[in-house]
Structure 1
Amino acid sequence: MKRILTILILLLSAQILFAQEKADIKKGNDLYQQQKFKEAEANYRKSVQKKDQNLPANFNLGDALYKQKKFTDAGEQFNKIAATNPNKKVAADAYHNLGNSLLENKKLEESIEAYKKSLLNNPNDDQTRYNLAYAQDKLKQQQQQNKNNKNQDNKNNQNQNNQNKQNQDKKDQDKKNQDNKDKQNDQNKQDQNKQNGQQPNQVSKEDAERMLDASNNDEKATQEKLKNKKLKGAKLNISKDW
């Protein structure tokens, strides 16, 4: 009698739990239709918590995440369904939605693989085939754009190298012109000195005498400064260790 009573309690509990799951899904669906996707997500999660293998709750949870642009979370949800559900139709739909989530995240190559897996489970799905072609076209555009960017970078680098070379050549030429100008100025100075009867770098007698007098005066001034400094004495700062 006790065993029968226990079985009845378990059946009743299961029915109550099942009814709660259905209620959560229904409420989630109603909120989904009202585009209250965050609230719908919360109800679907309640249903999943009560029964992890609840397919409608799991699938709708993925849809609610997708509608909120939580594409990474949505992709993980659909990937879990596709990998664990033996039903080919369910797996095809899950892979299709996984492909959409990856496509929204700009993961083109991964989205293409997801669409291909969807078609393996349901080869007659024209919508998936269209999305696959769309993703492949996007990937080609991206690859072409990357190629164009690379070519443009190479062209820019080449132009920059050419500009740098032109700048360096100009600097070299300017330096060469300046050197020639300096040499010419030196030659003109030497020619001028010759015309004045002086050898290059030769000092006149008068200039030499003036330089000698100036040197003697500087030496006397220096000695006078040293003498004064000696008389004044040097001041020292004395520090003490306490």
Structure 2
Amino acid sequence: MISEIKNRKSLFIRAFLLVLLLSSITAFAQPQQAKEQKKELKAAQNFLSEAQQSLQKDKFPAAEADYRKAIFLNPKSETAKYNLGTAYYGKEKNAEAMLRFQQAATTATDKAEKHKAFHNLGNTFMNEKKYTEAVEAYKNALRNNPNDDETRYNLALAKDMLDKNPPPPEDKDDKDKKDQDKKDQDKKDQQDKQDKKDQGDKGDQKADKDKGDDKQDKKEGDKDKDQGKPKDEEGDKPQQQQPVPGQLSPQQVKSLLEAMNNEEKKTQDKINAEKQKGAKVKSDKDW
């Protein structure tokens, strides 16, 4: 019993020491991790500064590389993405600038930063003559800063250019073609459903017809069986047999038999009468 108590006490002490060790490691790791993050943020800021200096010295490749390093070290910062987008815009690299401004607008949490990103994104769309996208970008910019006159002017210009340069006819044709294809497909699907329904109804009608034919055949078969059994108008009573030429009918046979019986009776009555008168009887002796 004492040994069991000692074992439990030892197990408890070990568990307590393990928890204490883990807590110490966590407590040590958190400041260390925070220290590393702070170091990375400082390095990202240094790369931003170096990139700006490289741009001022017209060293675009070096500036681009430093901006990329800053974005890698601090992906949550919209500043490096926005500045790199501005650098691309200055070099008329609209596709690259567009991507970075979009990233900056997505990452930014401050309305002022979002406004700048969407405003410059609209400018890149204007350079590419994508007026529909430009209108939407300027609208997003004004949602974050409704008081910016330059954005409002750019929006009006983008709308005017969109009215004068509507989407190419082929785009409209493609849309119409897609709509027509969808209608055709829906119509085909509807027709397939109707055909299946009609096929099912036709099968049911054929089955009903076959059943009706079977009933008719059975009825005609029963009729053929009854042809040798003539019936009178009253129902199941057999008809009287018709006389056949050259043969006596049952009635004629009956009348003839009655006549013969009558003749036979008359002859018998005559014989009986003669017996009663004492007629002579021939004897075997010759006297």
Q: Please state how far the C-alpha of 1:69 moved relative to its aligned partner.
A: 1.5
Task: Give the 3 Å change call, closer, same or farther, for CA 16–67 of structure 1 in structure 2.
Answer: same
Shift of 1:119: 0.8
Query: 1:74 is matched by which residue type in structure 2?
Result: A
Tell me the CA shift for residue 36 of structure 1.
2.8
2: CA distance, partners of 1:8 / 1:142: 59
Q: Alpha carbons of 1:19 and 1:97: their partners in 2 closer, same or farther (altered >3 Å)?
A: same
Q: Deviations over 1:102-135 (max 9, x none)?
A: 1111111211111111111111111111212222
Is 1:19 the counterpart of 2:19? The answer is no
Contact 1:99 1:115 in 2 (8 A): yes
Shift of 1:2: 4.8
Check 1:38–1:129 CA distance in 2 against 1; reply closer, same or farther (3 A cut): farther
State the number of aligned residues: 145
Aligned to 1:138: 161
- Contact persistence 2:77–2:108 (CA under 8 A): no
Distance 1:139 1:3 in 2: 59
Which gives a bigger RCO, structure 1 or 2 (Cα 8 Å, sep 6+)? 1
Counterpart pick for 1:28 among 51, 72, 76:
51
Moved more, 92-101 or 129-138: 129-138
Query: In 1, Cα distance between the equivalents of 2:143 and 2:30?
Result: 44
Aligned-residue offset at 1:3: 4.6
User: How has the CA–CA distance of structure 1 residues 3 and 120 changed in structure 2, closer, same or farther, with 3 Å as cutoff?
Assistant: closer
Map 1:121-160; keep pairs closer than 5 Å: 121-142=144-165
Q: Secondary structure of 1:13's match?
A: helix
Q: Any unmatched runs of 5+ in structure 1?
A: 148-242
State the one-letter code of the partner of 1:16.
K
Per-residue CA deviation, residues 34-86 of structure 1 (Å, 9 max, x unaligned), is: 33333212111101111211221111111112122111121122122223433
Q: TM-score, normalised by structure 1?
A: 0.54
1 CA distance for matches of 2:57 and 2:153? 29
Read off the aligned partner of 2:142 and give its amino acid letter: L
Task: Identify which of 110, 116, 127 aligns with 1:93.
Answer: 116
Are residues 1:10 and 2:33 paired? yes
The TM-score normalised by the length of structure 2 is: 0.46
Query: Which of 46, 50, 53 is 2:73 aligned to?
Result: 50
State which structure, 1 or 2, has the greater radius of gyration over its C-alpha atoms.
2
Q: Which residue identity lines up with residue 91 of structure 2 in the other structure?
A: Q
TM-aligned CA deviation for residue 10 of structure 1:
2.4
Partner residue, 1:37? 60
Cα distance in 1 for residues equivalent to 2:153 and 2:79: 25
Separation (CA, whole Å) in 2 of partners of 1:121 and 1:51: 24
The verdict on how the C-alpha distance between 1:83 and 1:21 changes in structure 2, with shifts beyond 3 A counting, is: closer
- What code does the residue aligned with 1:96 have? H
Q: Does the 8 A contact of 1:102 with 1:111 survive in 2?
A: yes
The root-mean-square deviation of aligned C-alpha atoms, in Å, is 2.3
AA at the equivalent of 1:75: M
**Counterpart Cα distance in 2 of 1:35 and 1:52:** 25
1:106 to 2:129 alignment: yes
* Greater displacement, 61-70 / 116-125: 61-70
- Aligned equivalents of 1:36, 1:20: Cα separation in 2: 20
Paired residue secondary structure (2:64): helix
Work out the CA distance in 2 between the residues paired with 1:18 and 1:82: 20
| 4+ long deviations beyond 6 Å | none
Q: Are 1:38 and 1:68, in contact at CA under 8 Å, matched by a contact in 2? A: no
Instruction: Judge conservation of contact 2:122–2:135 (CA < 8 Å) in 1.
Output: yes
Q: Which whole-Å CA distance do the structure 2 matches of 1:65 and 1:79 have between them?
A: 13
